Structure 1
């Protein structure tokens, strides 16, 4: 479990680096980053709008750029950014 928090604490720094490997973050942190409820992340997965990039035990892990893309797609072209 401590591995998950270690990765999540590095997410804001690592996503800017572009060092080849994308940082994977758990669904709860992904939801926090885009300003939605964790249930919304699960719904996007269920609807096929977002695909987990890995797993840590039972937890699904996501690439942050995929989460932002799903959020933009869900927002639609006519809605104002937050």
Structure 2
């Protein structure tokens, strides 16, 4: 599963880990994403979305119908 939120668009951030000796190595900060299934009443089916913690809150606030419409408008198949 790629660490990319379908609702908010959050994706991994990249940077460096700095040790005590100041040696730098590459690292990556992944967003807190999980696969969550929602029921779409208008279509009578369930959809599975990869959403971050903030994306789940967005779905709760705006409603799944509005969020799916926004995702489809951006060109992603749901």
Question: What TM-score results when the alignment is normalised by the length of structure 1?
Answer: 0.26
More helix by proportion, 1 or 2? 1
More strand by proportion, 1 or 2? 2
Larger Rg: 2
